Structure 1
Amino acid sequence: MSATSPVAEIDPESWAAVLTPRLAQFAGVARHEHVTRAAGELMVPQSTLSRAMARLEADLGVSLFARRGRTVQLTPAGRRFLGSVEKALAAVEQAAEAVRADADPTTGKVAFGFLHTLGSETVPALIRTFRVDHPKVRFALVQNYGEAMLERLRAGELDLCLTSPVPDEPDLVARRLDEQRLRLVVPEDHRLARRKRIRLAEAADEPFITLEPGYGMRRISDALCAEAGFKPRIAFEGEEAETLRGLVAAGLGVALLPPPTVERPGVRELTVTAPRAVREIGLAWLDGHPDTPPVAAFKSFLLSRRGQLLA
């Protein structure tokens, strides 16, 4: 078996598409060094396999096999090609096993994103409860702010995410699960620190410490201040709620934040009576994206927790 035709004119970007269907056939012939036996293993007619190998050689423009009676032997070029082919086929096999394992109903994986403020207690408690009935399901957990998680949903890097505000976008499906009351956090020696309740307008002249633009909590905070009749004077911007609490404790401003996991010394947290200061927590996923069994089970579990998510 030899290649006598000139190198085929193939767009370099098309090599993978042209060669991939023949790689397993080539490896089979190389393993057996016999076309008939390889055809039997691969369950294709001998004539079909012979034509496929001849076409492979013609496309590459090199001889991969030398005939020795009824057997074939790899040429030096064939041996070099076989090493790369075996690595490529092994990589495909590993990839196939990985995606099959991730989709396994019992031991599969869920790529789950959530807000930083839900990471200390809410998400661990949810997963612990879910794993009572699904003890071997694995999780790839991602903490991020809302917009970043939605982009990772779109990129196929996440299956589900808990986010706020609840998105309303045509390529996503979102369901409201619960809400958190927001508090005005002030330093413990602040003029308002002895209060338990406050109208947000009473803090209009205070320097505000907020999350950076692009964070869902920042949009909510700005909207609440606007509803209260003022534009906040931003003193500091950060990326994480507990860091903002630390800045408040240092006397650098006030902040609108969800409740802390653990009460922090140095601050007082006031209930905001007007406007109604809450943030909704929702579950989002990519519209039309098929769920693996473990993802479907976890999605159903989360949706069943409506109104109890933050309990």
Structure 2
Amino acid sequence: MIHAVAYDSSSDQVNLPVEQAELSSTSPAARLSPLLAQFAAVARGEHVTRAAAELGMPQPTLSRAVARLEAELGVVLLAREGRTVRLTRAGRIFLASVERALAELERGADAARAEADPTGGRVAFGFLHTMGSEAVPMLLRGFRAQLPRVRFQLVQDYTDSMLARLREGELDLCLLSPRPDAPDLTARRMGEQRLRLVLSTDHRLAGRRRVRLEEVAEEPFVTLEPGYGLRRITDALCAEAGFSPRISFEGEEAETLRGLVAAGLGVAVLPPASVPRPDVVELTLASPSARRELALVWSSTRPLPPPAVAFRDYVLSERDRLPLHS
């Protein structure tokens, strides 16, 4: 016997042989979504018994599920004909939308599985501009030689922005400076760089090898914008030397600052250039604090997807071979 929905042929109302329950205050989509696949299984074959067997659920439970769906919609979706059921016109219209919704859900599930595939998923990786010319290409080249199907979303940004995006889940990993100290973040030291005072070749101190920062206290500085870790270090070094820097330009990229120094717009505190420029000189700063620590950072509160775990482990294994030490 098929325990399907009982219909009154003289009315569009549905007589439900199911327990009545209070309607949930949740949205219609939230209430209907668990029932859609069950309705689609019945509607495709227009047979409750076979659909119940396919779904691995008792026939009466499936009949009640379809009846509940009709009650939520307020329309008849299936009409009983002997041992089978057939779709009403409203049922055919609704089934078309249900099939599209289920197909979209399946595509979403496939995309989610692909994203987490340890050999072919995606890694969202942020890094400082100064890491983009040498260190990051080395890491990507080496890692892709092992797992060529892994895809990367690469973001160059300043430290504060990357940490915010890391906390929001937009990024999996960040290579940045200074090393953050926060309970919701995990940071592993990657290296340390001595910072240099960058001058134009015709600067009065250009012939020196070592200099104190206070010797340029009266000169204009070109610096990175607020929010960059290197800007905070520069401000702290100037405060340590007893002055507040007079800023002539704030930029986003170290090589731009070097070009402006060469043009005589000021001096800059920067890490060593990966490729020396002939139009500037880089002097050692006397202060022991003139250094920056580089760190690989990820969230402590959110698990990393498998491809990001693989990349994190690779980066940590390569830290002694990267150009992150000076």
Superposition map of 1:248-287 within 5 A: 248-287=261-300
Does residue 1:133 correspond to 2:146, yes or no?
yes
> What residue ranges of structure 1 are gaps of 5+ in the alignment?
none
CA contact (8 A) 2:219 2:266 kept: yes
* Distance in structure 2 (CA, Å) of the matches to 1:159 and 1:186: 37
Distance (whole Å) between structure 1 residues aligned to residue 163 and residue 105 of structure 2: 29
- Which blocks of at least 5 consecutive residues in structure 2 are unaligned? 8-13
State the shift of 1:286 in Å: 0.6
Distance 1:148 1:83 in 2: 44
Q: Does 1:161 align with 2:177?
A: no
Looking at structure 1, the residues matched to 283 and 305 of structure 2 have their Cα atoms a distance apart, in angstroms, of 44
- Counterpart in the other structure of 2:228: 215
Note closer, same or farther for the CA distance 1:77–1:259 as it changes in structure 2 (3 Å cut).
Answer: farther
1:112, 1:252 → 2: CA distance? Answer: 34
Structure-2 residue corresponding to 1:292? 305
Partner of 1:115: 128
Following superposition, the deviation at residue 167 of structure 1 comes to 0.6
CA contact (8 A) 1:33 1:71 kept: yes
User: 1:97-133 CA distances to partner (integer Å, 9 max, x unpaired)?
Assistant: 1222222232222221111111121111012122333
Offset from partner CA, 1:155-194 (integer Å, 9 cap, x none): 1121111111111011111111101221111222222222
Deviation at 1:4, TM superposition (A): 4.8
Q: Tell whether the 8 Å contact from 2:134 to 2:323 is kept in structure 1 after alignment.
A: no
For residues 241 and 31 of structure 1, what CA distance do their matches in structure 2 show? 62
Per-residue CA deviation, residues 206-244 of structure 1 (Å, 9 max, x unaligned), is 111111111111111111111222211111111222222
- CA 1:246–1:75 in structure 2 vs 1: closer, same or farther (change >3 Å)? farther
Q: Which of 6, 31, 44 does residue 18 from structure 1 map onto?
A: 31
SS at match of 1:274: coil
- Residue 59 of structure 1: aligned partner: 72
Shift of 1:265: 4.5
SS of the aligned residue for 1:279 comes to strand
TM, length-normalised to structure 2: 0.88
Of 84, 91, 112, which residue of structure 1 is paired with 2:97? 84
Is 1:188 aligned to 2:182, yes or no? no
Q: Secondary structure at the match of 2:105?
A: helix
8 Å CA contact 1:178–1:308 kept in 2: the answer is no
Q: CA deviation at 1:307?
A: 3.9
CA drift of 1:19 comes to 1.2
Q: Distance in 2 between matches of 1:87 and 1:181?
A: 58
Partners of 1:84 and 1:283 lie apart in 2 by 46
Which structure has the larger Rg?
Answer: 2
Shift of the 89–111 alpha-carbon distance from structure 1 to 2, 3 Å rule, reads: same
**1:283, 1:199 → 2: CA distance?**
31
Structure 2 distance, partners of 1:217, 1:112, is 20
**Matched position secondary structure for 2:110:** helix
Aligned residues: 310
The amino acid that maps onto 1:278 is R
Q: Which residue of 1 aligns with 2:238?
A: 225
